[in-house]
Amino acid sequence: MNKIDLNGRCAIVTGGAQGFGRAITERFVASGASIAIWDSDQPFAERTAKEIGGAVMAFKVDVSDLAAVERARDETLKAFGRIDILVNNAGIAGVNKTVWETDFDEWRKVLRINLDGPFVCCKAVAPAMIRQNYGRIINIASIAGKEGNPNAAHYSASKAGLIALTKSLGKELAQHNIMVNAVTPAAAKTAIFDQMTQAHIDFMLSKIPKNRFVLVEELAAMVAWLASEDCSFSTGAVFDISGGRATY
């Protein structure tokens, strides 16, 4: 593990109780940061925080609810004094169906968590970062947001929207020493696979030249650099980690 210096920094990791979010939290703690896990499952998040150790606290948050996010922001600021890093990781896959078979409510549910959620969190946290003239925002998008996976239009559209949000916000915050970037991982073997059909999982694997899924630790390593002071000129950018799948 290469050493990334996050000493004295406070990070929010949404959906930090498991999967990518837990791996990112663990890497941040190893790098010296304090972490606020924002998760809809507080008991699970509290258990994760206890298992990881260090300066990690759990907060129950529905990331798509602005009032709930603002409360969590205020509680995080009270607990840690500042917010330097925001990782918008919370997300769901939704059911695997064609566009014409997908219920509108299912479409809205996926967009609400995967796209509305990061918008709401950025809206709530950005002013605090502007006041301190420092911040790092990392949005966990997906290779599906670049290519559009069949039978996952809602997920693909939400991640494409997150990429565009990243580019817009990066331009808006560029003069405030706040870097906003996205990562586009291939799939990883996490709990999100439980929401997918085996056929869809096989399809995703078949597209990866490395012939394996990304490891959560690999994604966390990239995010750790993006969260650091070393990432000082890259903003509004998309960092690929898809095992060679991406064609642009």
Closest CA to 7 of 223, 235, 182, 224: 224
The CATH classification number of 10-239 equals 3.40.50.720
pLDDT per residue over 157-189, tens digit each? 999 999 999 999 999 999 999 999 999 998 887
- Lookup result for tokens 């050493």: 3
* Paired tokens of 125: 């946290």
For residue 134, indicate whether it is catalytic.
Answer: no
pLDDT score of 192 more than 90: no
pLDDT per residue over 136-148, tens digit each? 999 999 999 999 9
**Of all helices (H) and strands (E), which one includes residue 55?**
none
3-state secondary structure of 78: helix
pLDDT score of 191 more than 80: no
d(CA 131, CA 69): 18
* Confidence at 200, pLDDT banded by 50, 70, 90: confident
**Which positions ≥6 away from 79 have C-beta within 8 Å?**
36, 57
What are the domain boundaries of the chain? 10-239
Q: What is the pTM of this model?
A: 0.95
Closest CA to 17 of 40, 48, 43: 48
| Secondary structure E strands in 1-108 | 10-14, 34-39, 56-60, 85-88
Query: Residues 76-94: what's their mean pLDDT?
Result: 97
Q: Are 144 and 159 a contacting pair, CB within 8 Å?
A: yes
* Confidence at 62, pLDDT banded by 50, 70, 90: very high
3-state secondary structure of 243: coil
Q: How far is CA 12 from CA 9, 30, 86, 148, in A?
A: 10, 15, 5, 28
Annotated active-site residue in 20, 28, 80, 155: 155
3-class SS letters over 151-163? CEHHHHHHHHHHH
d(CA 53, CA 97): 40
